[in-house]
């Protein structure tokens, strides 16, 4: 299956360069130069993955991310951010982005991240198909997660969550009660290897955002518990 990628970037030279590189890798590519065009293209093109620059005209990258996440929860979103914009990275993840790449970036790194995202969707499907129906949705505390429909609620109220956040929670559920290393998540979910392993701060940012959505008290988490010097443990209550 050919995967479809939407590239949202207002700088023409970068936009066309990315388009050329991804088309050479046999992806079907559409582009958008501003936020309004990006939202329209996401609705008509239905991409599997969006590469989204945050600094775009008409609608900000944050707003585009929020809209696409709400309307197309199964779509992966990779943000492009300036290297020094730590707050932008966190804000983007809170809006529903699955990952971020800092500018200036290596096209090889971006290609590798995109391939890792899309490869996992292909590999996971046949492995998960025989699983019991109960694994398609889970309930714990006052939280309900439906992994097939990408729907989540807490206390009956809907939660906006990215596809990556669903993947992380499903991994935690499958390893509940065990200590999960940050490196395990980067390897098993992101598809990284020891040779190209990024900073584990990526994981910590996701955990912060998940706690905001799931925990009653973020300062005293009961669901995703930190294990000092190791990683995290998923302790359902």
Same domain, 110 and 54: yes
Could you give the CA distance from residue 2 to residue 7 in angstroms, rounded to a whole number? 16
Q: What is the CATH number of the domain that holds 26?
A: 3.40.50.2300
Same domain, 98 and 153: no
Pairing of strands 99-103, 49-53: unpaired
CA angle, 187 then 54 then 166, to 5°: 35
Same domain, 194 and 88: no
Q: How many domains does the chain have?
A: 2
The phi and psi torsions of 181 (rounded to 5 degrees) equal -75, 150
Same domain, 157 and 98: no
Token representation of residue 90: 């966190």
Cβ–Cβ < 8 Å for 188, 72: no
Per residue of the chain (237 residues), give pLDDT as tens.
789 999 999 999 999 999 999 999 999 999 999 999 999 999 999 999 999 998 899 998 888 988 898 888 888 899 888 755 566 666 767 777 888 888 888 888 888 889 888 876 654 444 444 443 446 888 888 999 998 888 999 999 999 888 888 889 989 988 888 888 888 888 888 777 777 777 777 788 889 989 999 999 988 898 999 888 778 988 865
Same domain, 10 and 112: yes
Token representation of residue 147: 């992994």
Q: What is the CATH number of the domain that holds 196?
A: 1.10.10.10
Last residue of some domain: 124, 141, 171?
124
Same domain, 147 and 226: yes
Q: Which domain holds residue 170?
A: 131-234
Same domain, 10 and 116: yes
- How many Å separate Cα 189 from the centre of its chain? 10
Same domain, 151 and 186: yes
Last residue of some domain: 105, 124, 143?
124
Could you give the CA distance from residue 190 to residue 131 in angstroms, rounded to a whole number? 22
Same domain, 205 and 220: yes
Last residue of some domain: 124, 148, 181?
124
Same domain, 74 and 162: no
Cβ–Cβ < 8 Å for 4, 15: no
169-174 CB contacts, 8 Å cutoff, 24+ apart: 169/145, 169/210, 170/145, 172/224, 172/232, 172/234, 173/138, 173/145, 173/234, 173/236
């Amino acid at each position: 299956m050919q995967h479809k990628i939407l590239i949202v970037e207002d700088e023409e030279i970068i936009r066309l360069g990315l388009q050329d590189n991804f088309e050479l890798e046999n992806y079907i590519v559409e582009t958008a130069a501003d936020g309004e065009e990006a939202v329209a293209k996401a609705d008509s093109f239905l991409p599997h993955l969006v590469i989204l620059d945050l600094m775009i005209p008409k609608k900000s990258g944050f707003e585009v991310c929020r809209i696409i996440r709400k309307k197309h929860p199964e779509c992966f979103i990779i943000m492009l951010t300036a290297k020094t914009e730590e707050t932008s990275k966190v804000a983007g993840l809170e809006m529903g982005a699955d990952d971020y790449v800092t500018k200036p970036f290596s096209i090889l790194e971006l290609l590798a991240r995109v391939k890792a995202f899309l490869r996992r969707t292909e590999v996971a499907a046949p492995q998960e198909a025989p699983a019991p129906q109960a694994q398609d949705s889970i309930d714990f505390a006052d939280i309900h997660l439906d992994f097939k429909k990408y729907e989540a609620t807490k206390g009956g109220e809907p939660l906006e969550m990215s596809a990556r956040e669903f993947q992380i929670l499903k991994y935690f559920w499958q390893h509940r009660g065990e200590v999960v290393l940050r490196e395990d998540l980067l390897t098993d979910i992101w598809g990284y290897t020891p040779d190209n392993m990024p900073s584990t701060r990526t994981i910590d940012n996701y955990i912060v955002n998940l706690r905001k959505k799931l925990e009653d008290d973020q300062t005293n988490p009961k669901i995703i518990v930190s294990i000092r010097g190791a990683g995290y443990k998923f302790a359902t209550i």
